Amino acid sequence: MPHTLVKHFGKYIADKKLGQGGMAEVYKGHSKNVFGVNKTVAIKVMSSKASQDPKYVEMFKQEAKIAVQLSHDNVVSVIDFGAHLDQCYVVMDYVDGFNLLELMQLANKKEQKLSMAEILFIAKEGSSGLDYIHRFRDAATGKNLNIVHCDISPHNIMVSREGQVKIIDFGVAKSTLSARVQKSQPNMGKARYLSPERLIDSQATQASDIFALGITLWELTTGVRVFENLTAIEVAAKISSFELPTLYEFRNDCPEEWVQILTKATHPDLTKRYQKTSELNRDLSVILSTSYPTYTQEDFRLRIETLGASSLQDETEKLEVVANANAGSVKIFKPISVESRRVLQINPMYVILLFLTAAVYLLSNTDFFENFQMHPEKVVGRVNSLVRTGKSETVDGVNSPTATTPIKVGQPSHTNSPPITQNELSPDERLVRVTSMPTGAYIYVNGYYTQLKTPALAKVSRRDATVILLRMNGYRDATLVLNKDAPVADFKLISTGARH
C-alpha cells in the first residue's frame, strides 16, 4: 500500500495514511490557510463501506459531538469535523509519537524495561485524562454527559516525543448524547480489555473503563500481553475466573502500593473495583509523589529520546497498523528499507557453505536427532504472552500455572550433565535447585533444553525472572515463573490421566 497520497477534506489535505480500523481510516495531513500557514493534523475519515450504513454514520457523528467538546492535556483535541463527498471526517491534533503498544515493542527491541517511575507517570497522566472524560459536563446544560470511552487499550493511549500522554479514539464511546444509538450498538472494544460485566451484559460503565486501563497498565509493567491470540469467545470463557499473575513474578521493583492499585483496578468483581476514576487518579498521584517525588515530564521526554523513539518516525520503517475492531487484534507491517534489501542479496556460495557446515555438524552429532525427536519445540525464546489456565501450585510464593494440554515425549536416553560449580557461573548467573515428584523430568530454562533432569542444579539469571518448564513422559508439562530470589523450584507433576 502506498504511503504517500493527496486527498482533500474541506480545507484539510491528507498526506500519509497512518492506519485503518473497522469503520474509519486515519491520515496525517495539514490545513490549508490563506496566509500560507499550515498546521499538521490527524484526519479520521469514515470508510466508503461504513458511509453507506446509517447506523455507522450516526455513530461517527456522535463521536464528533462528544470529542469536539473535550479539552484536556491528556486527551487528544478535536479541531473540526465535517463531510466531503458523503464521507464524514474528524480533524484532530496530530500527536507526534506512538502508542503504548509501540512503546513496549520499542523497549523490548532495546532489551530494556520501562522503569517504575516511567510506568507510574504514564498511569497517573492517563488516569487524569480518563477522569476528566468521566466527569465532563455539557457546557450548555451543565449536566454530566456520563461519557464512557469503551475502548481503553495500549493502542488508544499515545505518548508524544515531548513526554505527553494522551487518550485517543472515541469511536465507540457512549454518553447521554448517544443514548439513542447505544440501544442498537453492539458490544464493541478489544476483547482482551473488556471487563467481565461487559462480556456478560454489554453494560459499559466508568468501572469497565478502569478495568481496561488496569489491564493496559499491567501489560506495560510486565511487558506481557494478557489473553494473547484468543478470540472474544475464548476470553469470555476465561475472564470470569481469571486472576492476573502477581507483578513480582516479572519484576521485583514494584512498590507494594502499585500491586494493590492494579489488583483493585482489575478486580473481576465489579463491587471490589474502583468505582470512580478520581479515586484511582488520587492513589496514583500519591504513589508517584511519594515514591518518585522529583520525576517530571521532562524526565520522561529524555527517556523517550534515549530509547530512540525518533526511529519510529523513520520514513524507511513506517509502521502501518491495521486494527480489526471485531477481533480486537492489531497487525503490524514493516516495509523493507532500501538498506535491508541490499542485505537480502546474499551470495549463493554463502548459502552452499552454510548448508555443508550444518550437514557436517548434524552427521557428527547424533544427540541432535535424539533431542529433536523428544523436544521439537524446545526453542521458545522469550515469554511473549501469558494466560493463566487450569490449577496452579505455589512454590515459595510463586504461582505455577499447570499446562492443560498433555504432550508426550520419549523416554530419557542419557544421564545428567556433570554438576555445575560456582566457578562456571558468570556474575549475572546463579544456581537454583530444580526438583520434582516424581523425579527424572527434563528441565527447560527460558525455553531451552538444559540437558538436565530432576533433581538438578540449573543456571538461571540473577537479574530477571526465569521461566522453568519440566517435561516427562506420561505427565503434563509443568511451568513456573521463578523470581530472582527463589532458591528452589519444586514441582508436583500431574499424570496425563488425572482429572481436575
* Residue numbers annotated as active site: 151
What is the rounded distance in angstroms from the CA atom of residue 214 to the CA atom of residue 284?
A: 12
DSSP 387-400: ---S-EEEETTEEE
DSSP-assigned beta bridge partners for residue 320: 333
Q: Residue 362 in contact with residue 368, Cβ under 8 Å?
A: yes
To the nearest 10°, the Cα dihedral for 116, 117, 118, 124? 100
- Please answer whether residues 468 and 480 qualify as being in contact, where contact means their C-beta atoms are separated by less than 8 angstroms: yes
d(CA 284, CA 74): 15
- R_g of the chain, CA atoms, integer Å: 26
Q: Which amino acid is at 469?
A: L
Longest dimension (CA), the chain: 82
The answer to whether the beta carbons of residues 16 and 28 sit under 8 Å apart is yes
Handedness of CA 232, 238, 239, 242 (dihedral sign): negative
252: helix, strand or coil = coil
What gap in Å lies between CA 390 and CA 399, rounded to an integer? 12
The SS3 assignment for 415 reads coil
- SS3 (DSSP) at 178: helix
Grid coordinates given for 270: 465489579
Q: Exposure of 30 by Cβ count < 10 A (0-12 exposed, 13-18 middle, 19+ buried)?
A: middle
For residue 231 the three cell numbers come to 478470540
CA distance 193 to 327: 12
Q: How far is CA 469 from CA 27, 235, 401, 428, 465, in A?
A: 46, 25, 10, 21, 13
- Asked if 472 and 441 touch (Cβ cutoff 8 Å), the reply is yes
* Cα dihedral sign, 314-310-215-150: negative
Residue 166 phi, psi dihedral angles, 5° rounding: -135, 135
Strand (E) or helix (H) holding 208: helix 206-222
Q: Which of 271, 244, 272, 269 is nearest to 259 (CA)?
A: 244
Question: How many residues in total does the chain contain?
Answer: 500
Cβ-contact 449, 371 below 8 angstroms: yes
DSSP state of 51: G
